[in-house]
Amino acid sequence: MIGSLHARLQALRSQPQWQAVFANLSWLGLDKVARMGISVVVGGWVARHLGAADYGLMNYSVAMIALVAVVPGLGLDTLLRRELVRHPEERDRLLGTAFWLRLGTGALAYGALMAGVLAGEDDSRARLIIAINGLSLLQCSTLVFDFWFQVQLRSKYTVLAQNIAFAISSLGRVILILQDADVVAFGLMLALDLPLIAGLNWFFYHRLSGPIRAWRWDGGYARRLLAESWPLALSGVAVLIYLRIDQVMLRQMSGDAETGHYAAAVRLAEVWNFVPPAFAISLSPLLGRARQGLVADYERMVRRSFALATLACWAVALPTMAAAPWIVRLLFGPEFAATTPMLVLLAACLPFIALGVMRQEYLVYEGAARFQLFTTTLGALVNVVLNLWLIPRWGGVGAAAATLAAQLVAGMLTSFASSRFRRVGFWQLEALFTPWRLLRSEKPAA
């Protein structure tokens, strides 16, 4: 079967419309594997240095920021990619409008975050880490550079920017370990990445596409984008709830040490969480052209997209689950033995994340952002309710189980709740259990 699957992938890769997709995926994949591999090693060293309690405190602070980090995005990511594919001539107006929208909402989000932290957080170390790293909410506006690289399938420039910034920040964390720094210093080091990435992305954009002074604000575009993006923005809030609220609830219900064990599992699982977004970024332009009739067989293209993303996730999730005990012991040491079952459950989430991410691309092109909001809201509700029930009983293992259930519900089962998208649910089942069948070169049966 492996030989046949490899042959089908090679045949697909040889088709002209897929060549740029696979090239873009190669850049994103090589970048993330190398970067996340080093991050896990350095992160494990940091965890050993700080201990479970302080490591939990630092990751709790990051999770608090992540809970509001979706606000500056305004749900524009997929929508903006779609508009840039459809109307590349409007690049300056689209990017300029998105930039100012994100900057304004980022400032509001930072103010709201700090008001909540000052009112409800007693730990001065956590307040300081959140205050400094929360400035990233303003800097999210500069990520619009990346959208243009994505639709041009030129993600190698984003890769270069991220790797340079990552190398500098990783070196900084190693120096802090050698200097026996405390948790606040490590928390503040996290704030270094985004300004470096933003500056380098600006440099590459300026060299390739011209100065950003050509960008311009358009109130009409802003109103139109916001009218369509608000369900996606709320959907993003729901996604962040069921991805990050577990660490916040764990700290409140089980303490810093259990949060540290769970944060270590999240860190390891996130090594592969780049896979679904990488496929979405690389396949979105192709799906957009297919939806406009510029590429033949739109439905087949969508189903193959589901299959490719899910197959890649199975390929990394299953080995991670099998090797979890050895991975945890090697990277974090015996103190983090309780992390192992949490990692197994979080790795099992990956195929369902892929199904949800790829379905969102499809729903946006179909103008069904409100259905996406329904799916993620239900997923967040499932996650919070199960956390309330499972965390007091099983701690971090319960939180991981709640996350798996939420991903299953939000990413796949909700497809069957709508008669319009029930067929998408069957495509997802096909991709989940028999993805290789969708990679055949022959045309689908009528």
Q: Is 237 exposed, middle or buried (0-12, 13-18, 19+ CB in 10 A)?
A: buried
Integer CA distances (angstroms), 169 to 190, 193, 199, 341, 346, in order: 8, 7, 15, 30, 26
Question: How many whole angstroms separate alpha carbon 227 and alpha carbon 309?
Answer: 30
Residue whose entry in the numeric block shows the structure tokens 């608000």: 230
Contact indicator for 268, 44 with CB cutoff of 8 Å = no
Q: In degrees, to the nearest 5, what angle opens at C-alpha 261 toward C-alphas 260 and 265?
A: 110
Contact indicator for 76, 103 with CB cutoff of 8 Å = no
Q: Which two tokens stand for residue 47?
A: 């965890």
Q: How many CB atoms lie within 10 A of CB 89?
A: 8
In tens, the pLDDT along 201-260 reads 788 877 777 777 778 888 877 887 777 777 777 777 777 676 667 877 887 788 777 888
Residue 366 is classified by DSSP as T
Q: Which two tokens stand for residue 345?
A: 């459950």
Question: How many whole angstroms separate alpha carbon 397 and alpha carbon 341?
Answer: 7
pTM across the whole model = 0.61
Q: Which range has highest mean pLDDT (71-75, 303-307, 338-342)?
A: 338-342
Q: What is the residue-averaged pLDDT of the chain?
A: 77
**Is the pLDDT higher at 17 or at 416?**
416
Q: What is the pLDDT of residue 346?
A: 93
Q: What is the pLDDT of residue 444?
A: 41
**Is the pLDDT higher at 133 or at 354?**
354
Q: In degrees, to the nearest 5, what angle opens at C-alpha 399 toward C-alphas 398 and 405?
A: 90
Q: What number is the average pLDDT over the span 102-109?
A: 82
